[in-house]
Amino acid sequence: MSDTASVDPRPNALSAWPDAKGRFGDFGGRYVAETLMPLILDLEQAYEDAKRDVNFRAQMDEFLRDYVGKPSALYYAERLTEHFGGAKIWFKRDELNHTGSHKVNNCLGQVLLAKRMGKTRIIAETGAGQHGVATATVAARFGLPCTVFMGATDVARQAPNVFRMKLLGAEVVPVSSGTGTLKDAMNEALRDWVTNVTDTFYVIGTVAGPHPYPAMVRDFQSIIGREAREQFLEREGRLPDAAVACIGGGSNAMGLFHPFIEDESVRLIGVEAAGHGIETGEHAASLKGGKPGILHGNKTYLLQDDDGQIIDAHSISAGLDYPGIGPEHAFLHDAKRAEYVSATDKEALEMFQLCTQLEGIIPALEPAHALARVRDLAGELGKDGLILMNMCGRGDKDVPQVAEMLGVEL
Ligand SMILES: *Cc1c(COP(=O)(O)O)cnc(C)c1O
């Protein structure tokens, strides 16, 4: 444990965290093995330098525009608005990005940073395979060999994504320790990183891990909120009453929220996956149903048993079943700046169909969770209200699973 007491002054503004030790209040930090410390200090320095480098930023902007397809549209979901009969609903359409979700925003940033640092090998963890595919995509574009760690259980469940990664030239390493799921894949990636210090860059897929990852991933994803804030002002002449996003590890939500943190009139609402229902214990709601603890190098809310052992998360949506949540969300939760609610598998499945039928947009099952709470909020805010929701991924990947759940044979 290398995270010792700090002399840093506490930032005043909520948006100014983390402090120099990577802490968001009580959360975050870098609880890592001594051997990992030099790597993350090196990464932190490289990221700080890159952030200030106009050439790095110009390179990011060019690839975000020409490769990812930024800016993504802000779209008035008119028929859903009419259907719910309350506040006006706008979607930030990050599902239109190359590879179909927000994940590429972050992968692009980290891979460009890896290039800048002279690293020649990329590693990543993945659960359902979405982050693995996005990382393999960007690694292919920059000609870097890429190894993706994936729980053995997930490898068996997610064959199409495993094949996709292989097509993109990545090596997929099944991890059979633990329950063979995302948290085990992440442990294995951290282990690989320590043993391949000189040439390897670890691309983490959400706002988790030791500092500087939670802040760095948030910064790369903040393009979502920056674009949406500007587009919203242009279209509505004012800010939304609420910004809503689903939460797995919390990167698309943090990216949406961050540029609005100092706008006190904007409610920030994160929607966790309630699975079969929080009361059943089969869910992925780390804030609603977890306790503070330490995992993957940071302190945050985690799903754990009485011995502090991590419990596997459950959700219909493979992208939401991380047993933790980014430390900045834990901080915003305890500071009462953001609200955290949840939606069940059943609600997500309903919203998946409703959005498809009314808007002609097939949402990923992840943002379908957010839409369930947008529905309630629309009624609560009434006709004068304005809601901004991040449509963080498209649902093509979920079609076979939805067919199965609806009892349709393909
Ligand atoms: C991975 C994923 C998520 C969950 O990750 P966050 O870090 O919470 O954003 C949500 N939606 C989609 C479409 C994803 O691919």
With a 6 Å cutoff on the Cβ, whether 178 touches ligand 1 is no
Given a contact cutoff of 8 angstroms between Cβ atoms, the answer to whether 363 and 395 are in contact is yes
Amino acid sitting at position 155: V
pLDDT tens digit sequence for 46-80: 999 999 999 999 999 999 999 999 999 999 999 99
The reply to whether 119 and 258 lie within a common domain is no
Note whether 39 and 93 are same-domain residues: no
The domain total for the chain is 2
- Pairing type for strands 291-295 and 23-24 reads unpaired
Indicate the residue type of 17. Answer: W
| Peptide bond between residue 145 and the one before it cis (omega within 30 degrees of 0) | no
Of 185, 216, 247, the domain-final residue:
216
Tokens read off for 91: 């979607």
pLDDT of residue 318: 82
- Mark whether 206 and 254 lie in a shared domain: no
Sites in the chain below the pLDDT cut of 70: 1-9
CA–CA gap between residue 25 and residue 92 (Å, rounded): 30
Consecutive H or E run containing 24: strand 23-24
363 and 278 in a single domain? The answer is yes
Residue having the nearest C-alpha atom to atom 7 of ligand 1:
251
122 domain residue, yes or no: yes
| Residue 7, pLDDT score | 52
Output the pLDDT for position 11.
Answer: 80
Range of the domain at 342: 72-100+223-405
Residue 284 and residue 240 share a domain? yes
* 233 lies in the same domain as 206: no
Task: Please give the pLDDT value at position 130.
Answer: 95
For residue 3, being part of any structural domain is answered with no
Q: Where are the alpha helices (DSSP H) in 318-364?
A: 327-334, 345-359
Centre of ligand 1 from the C-alpha of residue 389, in Å: 14
Burial of 143 (0-12, 13-18, 19+ CB in 10 A): exposed
Asked if residue 324 has its Cβ within 6 Å of ligand 1, the reply is no
Helix (H, G, I), strand (E, B) or coil at 4: coil
Distance 319 CA to ligand 1 centre (A): 5
Reduced to 3 states, what is the DSSP secondary structure of residue 396?
helix
- Which is nearest to 207 in space by CA: 45, 10, 70, 22? 22
Dihedral of alpha carbons 106, 108, 113, 118, sign: positive
Let me know whether 170 and 108 are in one domain.
yes
Question: Is the beta carbon of 315 within 6 A of some atom in ligand 1?
Answer: no
Instruction: Give yes or no for residue 94 CB within 6 A of ligand 1.
Output: no
Whether residues 109 and 254 share a domain: the answer is no
Per the CB < 8 A criterion, the answer to whether 170 and 136 are in contact is yes
Q: Is the Cβ atom of 392 under 6 angstroms away from ligand 1?
A: yes
* Alpha carbon distance 41, 153 (integer Å): 33
Per-residue exposure over 110-129, b if at least 16 CB sit within 10 Å of its own CB, e if not: bbbbbbbbebebbbbbbbbb
The response to whether residue 252 sits with its C-beta less than 6 Å from ligand 1 reads yes
The burial of 198, by beta-carbon neighbours within 10 Å (0-12 exposed, 13-18 middle, 19 or more buried), is given as: exposed
Ligand 1 atom nearest the C-alpha of 366 is 11
Whether this prediction's pTM lies above 0.85 is answered by: yes
Task: Say if CB 226 and CB 259 are below 8 A apart.
Answer: yes
- In 3-state terms, what secondary structure has residue 122? strand
Return the ligand 1 atom nearest residue 393 CA: 13
Domain end among 216, 240, 275: 216
Q: Whose CA is nearest to atom 13 of ligand 1?
A: 393
Single residue among 216, 235, 259 that ends a domain in this structure: 216
Same domain for 327 and 230: yes
Instruction: Determine the Cα–Cα distance for residues 154 and 225; give it in Å rounded to an integer.
Output: 31
250 and 354 inside one domain: yes
User: Residues 88-122: pLDDT tens digits?
Assistant: 999 999 999 999 999 999 999 999 999 999 999 99
Does 9 map to a domain? no
Q: Evaluate: CB of 217 within 6 angstroms of ligand 1.
A: no
Q: From 91, 130, 317, give the residue whose CB has the most ligand 1 atoms within 8 Å, as the site to mutate.
A: 130
Domain CATH for 57 = 3.40.50.1100
